[in-house]
Structure 1
Amino acid sequence: MTQAVQSVSSEVTGDLYAEVRTFYARQMRRVDALDIEGFADTFTEDGVVVHANGARAEGRAEMVAGMYRNKPRYRDIAVRHWFDHLLIEPVEGAEEGELRVSYYSLVTLADREGRLTFEPTFTVEDVLVRRGGRLLTRERVIHRDLPVEF
């Protein structure tokens, strides 16, 4: 699947950009530390994640169960999620504070000897909402990057 580049319809402030970057830094530190409940708490209660393979996790309980099933994969591995090239767009006509965020993701895995491997790269599309004064992920769709067709 190729990802179309969309133009930003409205600019975001530097403060909002910094808040979103900080949100992702905290969210990814939780998942990298295998803090499953803490990571799930960064999603709305009814949040949805659609993985690149088509698997869906709907709601925090499904997310937590799936992460515990996959946890043994990360034994003796240090995982790091690297996000960059964020495009942040307020969603016009939606609830106040709703944002559409698209970014690139690189995941590294380091073993006890420091050998580093890479996961495939992904483009991620999130919908963030503000609840109780804080940002939460309501929806995440993950696309595995593929060559552009021409």
Structure 2
Amino acid sequence: MSQSVGTLHQQVTGDLYAEVQTFYARQMRRVDALDIEGFAETFTEDGSVTHAGGQRQSGRAEMLAGMRANLPRYKDIAVRHWFGHLLIETDPADEDTVRVSYYTLVTQTDREGKVSFQPTFTVDDVLVRRDGRLLTQSRVIHRDSPAAAS
């Protein structure tokens, strides 16, 4: 599925851009360290993730169950999530809501140091501010594929 190219409607402040970057750095370090409870805490209690295959997990408990079931996949490998090309927009109707679209690359390194690359994705997040901190309210993950020929 090819992704449409979004347009940035308004520029965000440097402070907000840095805050969002730092939020993702902390969130991904938790998941990469297999701290699934800490990762789940970066979502709202009713947060949701829609995976590229269409599976949807709603709420922290459902997310944790899904992550626990997948933990054996990560035995003997180091996983790293790399995000880039963030488009960040505030919601004009709600100053505590931020929409973020970004590209992600996931690497896996085995004990011998061999690195493998996973498919690339485009991710659309809705972040909300609760008690002064950002949390992910929803995440939709789209697997990248070539654009249709014109």
> Shorter-chain TM-score: what band?
over 0.9
Q: How many angstroms apart in 1 are the aligned matches of 2:127 and 2:138? A: 7
For 1:67-78, what aligned pairs fall within 5 Å after superposition? 67-78=67-78
Match of residue 143 from structure 2: 144
- 1:28 is aligned to 2:28: yes
TM-score (norm. length: structure 1): 0.98
Q: Distance in 1 between matches of 2:114 and 2:3?
A: 31
| Aligned length, in residue pairs | 149
Separation (CA, whole Å) in 2 of partners of 1:115 and 1:46: 38
Amino acid at match of 1:10: Q
CA distance in 2, matches of 1:7, 1:111: 38
Which residue is 2:132 aligned to? Answer: 133
Distance 2:95 2:87 in 1: 18
Q: Which amino acid aligns with 2:72?
A: P
- Give the aligned residue type for 2:71: K
RMSD: 0.6
Which consecutive aligned stretches of 4+ in structure 1 deviate over 6 angstroms post-superposition?
none
Structure-2-length-normalised TM-score: 0.98
Shift of 1:46: 0.2
Aligned partner of 1:118 in structure 2 is 117
Partner of 1:82: 82
* Aligned sequence identity (%): 70
Deviation string, structure 1 residues 11-43 (Cα, Å, up to 9, x no partner): 100010000000000000000000000000000
In structure 1, distance between residues paired with 2:6 and 2:31: 29
CA deviation string 1:89-111 (max 9, x = no partner): 11121x32201100000000000
Q: C-alpha distance in 2, partners of 1:6/1:56?
A: 24
Q: Does 1:91 align with 2:67?
A: no
Structure 1: stretches of 5+ with no match in the other structure: none
Aligned to 2:58: 58
Distance 1:111 1:63 in 2: 26
